[in-house]
Structure 1
C-alpha cells in the first residue's frame, strides 16, 4: 500500500515491497508537482511489482535511499539517536542533492565526505561517515552496488579542541555567574544554569530529575532517567550503566532548589515541569552572561557541564572521581575530552612532586 506526504519540494510517494531475499523494503520518490502525479508513479510501481518486476534499484537518489534505509532499520532507536539519522539525511540532501546511488564509488564517496568536512568538525564528520557508510554497505549487500565504496575512506574534518576550549567558563566567570544567579530572581532557566554548573549533569538528565531522586538528608541526587527536552518530553533510561549514578551536591543548591520549587509549584512529577527548548536556553544563557560582562558567544548548555569538569580539574580533583560524577563510561573518555585541561593538571602535579622530592 502506498503512502503520500507533502514536502518542501512537492509531493512524496512511498511503497512497500519484498526484495529478492524476501525482506520488506520501501521505495520512495519525491518532487512530484501534485498528489495525482505521486499516485500515478505509485500505481506504476505497483503494476511492476505485481508483474514480478524488481523494484530495488540503484537509480535512486542517495539521500532518498538513505531515508528509506534508516526508516526501515533504525525506527526502533531512541528518539535522540533516530534524530541523528534524520539530520544526516538532510545533510545528504544538502551536500549531494542530485547524487544517484548508482554513481557512488570510493572516489565519489570520499569527495562527498571531503566536501562535508570543510565546514564540520571531526566528530560531526565521524557520525556522518558512520551512518552513511552503514547505508552504503547495506546497498552493497543487497547487490545495488558492485563494490563497497566505504573501504579505506577517511575523515578530514577539522581536528580542533574548539568544542571544549571555547565552550566553558573560567574560574573568575564561574564565581561571577553563580553570584548573579544566587542574587537575582529564580525561574526555570536560572535553575537549569545553576544546576548544570554545580552538578555536571547533562541537560536531558536534569529534565528527568524527580523529587524522589533528591535526598535532602544525604545531600545527594540520583540519575535514573533522561528526558527529551522537546515535545513529547518522553523519558528513557540512560544509555550506559555509568550514567545511572548518585552524586553529592552542596547545601546552597538545596536552598536554591527549595526557592525554585516554591516558585514553579510542587505538584509536578518532575522538578522541571516543562523543559525549556535547548535553543532558547542557550540564547538566554549568552544574553545573561553578556549582561554581567562575560563575553562568550559560543557557550552552550553542554558547555556548563564542561565548565563543571574544568572547575574540578583546576582544583586538583581526581580524574577517576570526576569521570564517575559526570557519568562517563570510564576515565579514558574524560581524559580524551578534556586533554587540554589535563595538561595544566599534570603540570600542577609535577610541581607538587618536585616540592616533595626536591
Structure 2
C-alpha cells in the first residue's frame, strides 16, 4: 500500500518494493495537485511493478540511464564521430536535468527539458537531441522500465540556423548545370571533380565517399556498395554511421561511365609516375593522395562561382540536394530513407519536413480531384 504525504501545496506518494537482490527500497514522486491524483498514480505504478516493470531502473536519473544505454547499445556499433554526438547529448542532460529521474518523466516535464535546450540551440540540433533521448526512452519501454513514451508528440523548437536552409540545397536546374560544368574539369590527376559528381548522384556522406574502394563499385549492375567509411584524421577505414548505413546505391549510366574512365586512367597515370594507392581508394589524388574535405569544398565553390550560383553549399549539401530532388520527383520516402542510410523514415521526415509538407499538400489536391469525379 502506498503512503501518501502532503508537501506544501502538493501531494507525494511513497511506495516500498523489493529489489532484485531481495532488499526493500522506496520509490517516491511528488508534485500531484490532489491526494486522489497521487493515489491513482501510485496504484498504477504498483500494478506495473507487479507485472514486471523495473522499478529499480525507473528510479535512476535520466542522465545515468542514458549513459548506460549509450555505452551498451551505441559504443563500437557506430562511428566515433557519431558516438561523440551521443556524448554531447549526455553532457547536456547532465547540465540541464542532473537530478531528473525516469520515474518523474512525463510529456510536460520532457517538453520543458526540450524547450530549455532549444533556447540556445538551432532547431536542427534540437531534432538530433530529441532523436537521441527518444531512442533511449523507447528502448526503456521495451525493457519494462517505463510504460509510456514521454517524447510522444514533442514540439521541436529552436533558434534559426546560422546558415539559411536555402543555402544547403540546389534545385534541379542548378544541379544539372553544376554537373555539366564539373564534367568539363574531369582530370584523373585530381579526384575532387569525380567526388563532387558522385556525391550529387548518390547522396553518400563524405566519409562514405572517401571509404569507397574500386571493389565496392559493380560496373555491370551499376551499384555502389556502401560498407565502410574512411577516418581522415587517423587515416584508416572505419565503420559506417550505423547498420542502416550499410546499403547499395544505384548509379546512373553516365556516372558509371565517368567512374569507369577514372579507374582506367587512374591506373595508367599512377603506374606512369610510380604512385601507389595502397587501399585501392576510388578518390585518390596523384600528388596529395586522399582528398580532403576542404579541397573538395574549394573545388565545389569554384564551380558554383563560375555559374554565378550564390550559395553557401558544401559537399554535404549535395547529399541534401540528392534527397530533395528524389522527393520532389515523387520517389517514395521509404526508398529515399534507405538510400540515405537513415535508420528509419522519421529522420528523413524531420530533415526534409518542408519538402514532405509541400508534397502532402500536393497529394491532398490530387485526392480532391480524384474524389470529385466519384
Pick the TM interval, shorter chain. Answer: 0.5 to 0.7
Aligned counterpart, 1:339: 356
Residue 269 of structure 1 pairs with residue 285 of structure 2: no
2:202 counterpart (199, 205, 217): 199
Residue 255 of structure 1 pairs with residue 270 of structure 2: no
Q: Is the 8 A contact 2:223 2:251 kept in 1?
A: yes
2:315 counterpart (296, 301, 315): 301
Residue 79 of structure 1 pairs with residue 79 of structure 2: yes
Q: Is the 8 A contact 1:202 1:305 kept in 2?
A: yes
Give the SS at the match of 1:151.
Answer: coil
CA shift, 1:175, in A, is 3.6
Q: Distance in 2 between matches of 1:294 and 1:69?
A: 45
Q: Is the 8 A contact 1:323 1:330 kept in 2?
A: no
Q: Distance in 2 between matches of 1:201 and 1:187?
A: 19
Q: Is the 8 A contact 1:242 1:329 kept in 2?
A: no
| Residue correspondences, number | 289
Distance of aligned partners of 1:165 and 1:295 in 2 relative to their CA distance in 1, 3 Å threshold: closer
Aligned counterpart, 1:123: 127
Aligned counterpart, 1:151: 150
Question: Which digits, 9 at most, give the CA deviation of each residue in 1:183-236, with x for residues without a partner?
Answer: 3366343332121112333434433322123345x3723315131444343145
Q: Distance in 2 between matches of 1:153 and 1:99?
A: 22
TM-score (norm 2): 0.55
User: Does 1 or 2 have the higher relative contact order (CA < 8 Å, sep 6+)?
Assistant: 2
Q: Is the 8 A contact 2:192 2:295 kept in 1?
A: yes
Distance of aligned partners of 1:275 and 1:114 in 2 relative to their CA distance in 1, 3 Å threshold: farther
Give the SS at the match of 2:223.
Answer: strand
CA shift, 1:182, in A, is 2.6
CA shift, 1:180, in A, is 3.8
Matches within 5 A, 1:320-339: 323=336, 326=339, 336=349, 337=352, 338-339=355-356
Q: Is the 8 A contact 2:134 2:151 kept in 1?
A: no
Residue 110 of structure 1 pairs with residue 102 of structure 2: no
Q: Distance in 2 between matches of 1:76 and 1:200?
A: 25
Q: Distance in 2 between matches of 1:344 and 1:154?
A: 21
Q: Distance in 2 between matches of 1:206 and 1:246?
A: 14
Aligned counterpart, 1:223: 225
Q: Distance in 1 between matches of 2:337 and 2:155?
A: 32
TM-score (norm 1): 0.57
CA root-mean-square deviation: 5.3
Aligned counterpart, 2:53: none
Matches within 5 A, 1:312-323: 319=332, 323=336
Structure 2's unaligned 5+ residue stretches are: 1-18, 22-55
2:192 counterpart (171, 189, 193): 189
Distance of aligned partners of 1:259 and 1:322 in 2 relative to their CA distance in 1, 3 Å threshold: farther
Residue 288 of structure 1 pairs with residue 294 of structure 2: no
Q: Is the 8 A contact 1:206 1:226 kept in 2?
A: no
